[in-house]
Structure 1
């Protein structure tokens, strides 16, 4: 079974196993901190009501018959512990079945969470993490060579991720074709980072080079992942470098970090050793057990069969973005930013301690990640995912008839402690405000001169009132 063993890819396996597990750890910790507030029994989109409404139509989940916050915390907490053990390499020291069971446990646990996560978990990187976690279960343990079938599958995953995103852009917004997309994107992306202001102010000719580089990295380089070495390793290095550029320029949860981890599937041990001479080599593998061989071949055939739909989607006239073709989130379609917004709008929530509209002084709630106070430099949060902040970005784009948003305003009027912990600051601390309101603002990055003189990173102007002043009992009299 020499053809079955990818003996020169031990580094790739170690990075994949520990890296994917590390992202699962972040995802479970994020769930522990945010899910009860956003989707719990008193959440903004209560999962119990969703479970009852969906009934037998609900996708596979441990919460199919009943949801409770206690069960959710148990699942997420257990998932975090198993993921941490994989990061530490403990199951990998045992026979292959231990690593397989560990990854299938965290995959099933997180699938259960995503399938009741509704709007707050409707992101492409959830499916990406689920697909990667399932495939990682069949990479084997330290005592045997990684199977070539799974190494090739991970490259196919990176191909779909990168090429799908490239095709979405070419077919989508004209600004990607005329190379002007990054005139706007650094400013209007969902959650800018601490360097985004500086990226935005790079020369326009450099932004055009950025777009050209993006097209090369997403439309040409993915094919080279399947080339002989060292070409495949060079292609992986290009993917990694472009993803590091995205990490530096914005906050996209764990999308970029996970892509970097997956790209290591194309880096061979000899190439890594040639670049870093101190890189240890691992060659003392035992013979692959026949049961593991059979399992991996069966799984490989399943993944090959499931690949037909995303393959067809890549070349479809109406290409789907971030779509799952099965209930298990295996072999999905990916893509991002087929359209680029040219202006940035933000929803600003304010509160006052009086119900007298004539004397009211309005003070803002500050979110952790999304822009608010113009004097505040955007923060770096990725790979952690601030789900409420992301949904506020979509809200400003026009999806404003959202029940969760009105529940958020109600929780703020109640000064609900759990909800307030989701924010950076509340104008009256733990005290209840008398009224809250929501307004829409147009935000632009400040100029160099405005930054020097006014010490502001953003310049904003009021556009319209979204929600007029409201109290716990309704509009003020």
Structure 2
């Protein structure tokens, strides 16, 4: 079956699989370091409570068999260790069936976390990692050449990521159509990065060029992925360049990294030789061909719903149509926020509030707070609480299930919760009162940055949470 192996994509498969394993490792590490406060037995949204009301068929997860914080930690650490081993080449040192098993175990472990993650795991890049991770099972290892059909399935996934994002923009906010969205986006995006201030201050004509280039990259270039070489390689390289632009301009967890890794699978090594040629390998075994054909048939059937969503005038962003997240629909920033609002949490150890009460601020790791603190580079790592704080500032409804539990944990200096923060102003004794205020944030001007050393200007809007004590929270 000469059509089946595609050794010219050997290097692309190598880069994709090793890079995806690194992303898996970071995703498991983020779960290990953050789950106790967010999802643990005493977390803000406890997994046991979720499991009690959610059947296995709606949310397949190993945690339906058993849950404890210790078991979660063991599972997540095991996933991280396995992902590191695969990134270092373990999957290429074992037989083909064992390599597929390693990728399958990674997928099962992370699916088990995502499906009980609730609000904290409601981001499109969770589904993207799972779909790409399931695809990686059928790409094989060094004992076979990459299967051409699976490589086209990777292009189909990449197409949905890019084209879905482009369509949702054109159907959504008018500023995408009049090329003005980037007047605001670098400043109002969920978590600006260290270069976002500089991107924001680019000349406005260049912002319009950025938007036009984005439309071309997302609405035109993806079709080139299905053209003959070298057109497909050129399209893939253009996607890689645009994804790196997004990496430099913001913090979007591993969304951009998985997308550009997918693009590497479409680059023909004969067109852009960057690594040694593929070694000679025997023909793939019949059982592997059968597994690949079954996988491709499954993707074909499950693609009905994403295609229907793409064609719909009511296109949904980042939707999964099955609980296994096998074939999903993607999209981002169908609407752009014009003004950045941020929640600032403050505490005081005064037992009686007066006009002279001194309030001290908590500092988060990634989201803006102290105007003098430069935004950091966190992606591809994911700060889940920081991202949800951005959504909560847009509407309190996003925080309805976890705002008061968060306040209660800060009021008792819960160590797991404090580890999610950059700075707690009450290191010895917890505060007596806690409140949250809403501010309007804007990037500082160049003059303010270089003279006053401030990255942000902020103006108080009003109250997000009134002054609370543990007793008041218990009564709610």
Q: Aligned match of 2:290 in 284, 289, 294?
A: 294
Q: Once the 2 structures are TM-superposed, how far is the Cα of residue 475 of structure 1 from its aligned partner?
A: 7.9
The 5 A counterparts of 1:425-436 are 425-436=423-434
Q: Once the 2 structures are TM-superposed, how far is the Cα of residue 84 of structure 1 from its aligned partner?
A: 1.1
| Deviations 1:178-208 (CA, angstroms, capped at 9, x unpaired) | 0000000000000000000010000000000
Q: Once the 2 structures are TM-superposed, how far is the Cα of residue 314 of structure 1 from its aligned partner?
A: 1.1
Structure 1 range deviating more: 163-172 or 465-474: 465-474
Aligned residue for 1:366?
363
Aligned residue for 1:413?
411
Runs of 4 or more, structure 1, over 3 Å off, are: 55-58
Q: Distance in 2 between matches of 1:450 and 1:280?
A: 51
Q: Distance in 1 between matches of 2:472 and 2:452?
A: 39
Aligned residue for 1:396?
393
Q: Distance in 1 between matches of 2:114 and 2:157?
A: 20
Aligned residue for 1:304?
300
RMSD over aligned Cα, in angstroms?
1.3
Give TM-score, length-normalised by structure 2: 0.97
**Do the aligned residues in 2 keep the contact of 1:51 with 1:66 (CA within 8 Å)?**
no
The 5 A counterparts of 1:186-335 are 186-273=186-273, 276=274, 279-335=275-331
Aligned residue for 1:93?
93
Q: Distance in 2 between matches of 1:146 and 1:474?
A: 61
Q: Once the 2 structures are TM-superposed, how far is the Cα of residue 430 of structure 1 from its aligned partner?
A: 3.8
Q: 1:170 to 1:475 in 2, by over 3 A?
A: closer
Q: 1:475 to 1:229 in 2, by over 3 A?
A: closer
Give TM-score, length-normalised by structure 1: 0.97
The 5 A counterparts of 1:45-124 are 45-56=45-56, 58-124=58-124
Q: Aligned match of 1:444 in 442, 461, 469?
A: 442
Q: Once the 2 structures are TM-superposed, how far is the Cα of residue 82 of structure 1 from its aligned partner?
A: 1.4
Q: Distance in 1 between matches of 2:438 and 2:46?
A: 26
Q: 1:187 to 1:318 in 2, by over 3 A?
A: same
**Do the aligned residues in 1 keep the contact of 2:131 with 2:326 (CA within 8 Å)?**
yes
Aligned residue for 2:180?
180
Aligned residue for 1:353?
349
Q: Once the 2 structures are TM-superposed, how far is the Cα of residue 65 of structure 1 from its aligned partner?
A: 4.1
Q: Distance in 2 between matches of 1:334 and 1:319?
A: 10
Q: Distance in 1 between matches of 2:295 and 2:162?
A: 23
Aligned residue for 1:343?
339
Q: Once the 2 structures are TM-superposed, how far is the Cα of residue 283 of structure 1 from its aligned partner?
A: 3.4
| Deviations 1:77-117 (CA, angstroms, capped at 9, x unpaired) | 11112111110111222221111101110101111100100
Q: Once the 2 structures are TM-superposed, how far is the Cα of residue 473 of structure 1 from its aligned partner?
A: 1.5
Q: Distance in 2 between matches of 1:450 and 1:291?
A: 65
**Do the aligned residues in 1 keep the contact of 2:411 with 2:431 (CA within 8 Å)?**
yes
Q: 1:56 to 1:13 in 2, by over 3 A?
A: closer
**Do the aligned residues in 1 keep the contact of 2:10 with 2:278 (CA within 8 Å)?**
yes
Q: Once the 2 structures are TM-superposed, how far is the Cα of residue 227 of structure 1 from its aligned partner?
A: 1.0
Unaligned runs of 5+ in 1: none
Q: Once the 2 structures are TM-superposed, how far is the Cα of residue 56 of structure 1 from its aligned partner?
A: 4.8
Q: Distance in 2 between matches of 1:407 and 1:224?
A: 49
Q: 1:457 to 1:289 in 2, by over 3 A?
A: same
Q: Once the 2 structures are TM-superposed, how far is the Cα of residue 57 of structure 1 from its aligned partner?
A: 5.3
Q: Distance in 1 between matches of 2:380 and 2:11?
A: 22
Unaligned runs of 5+ in 2: none
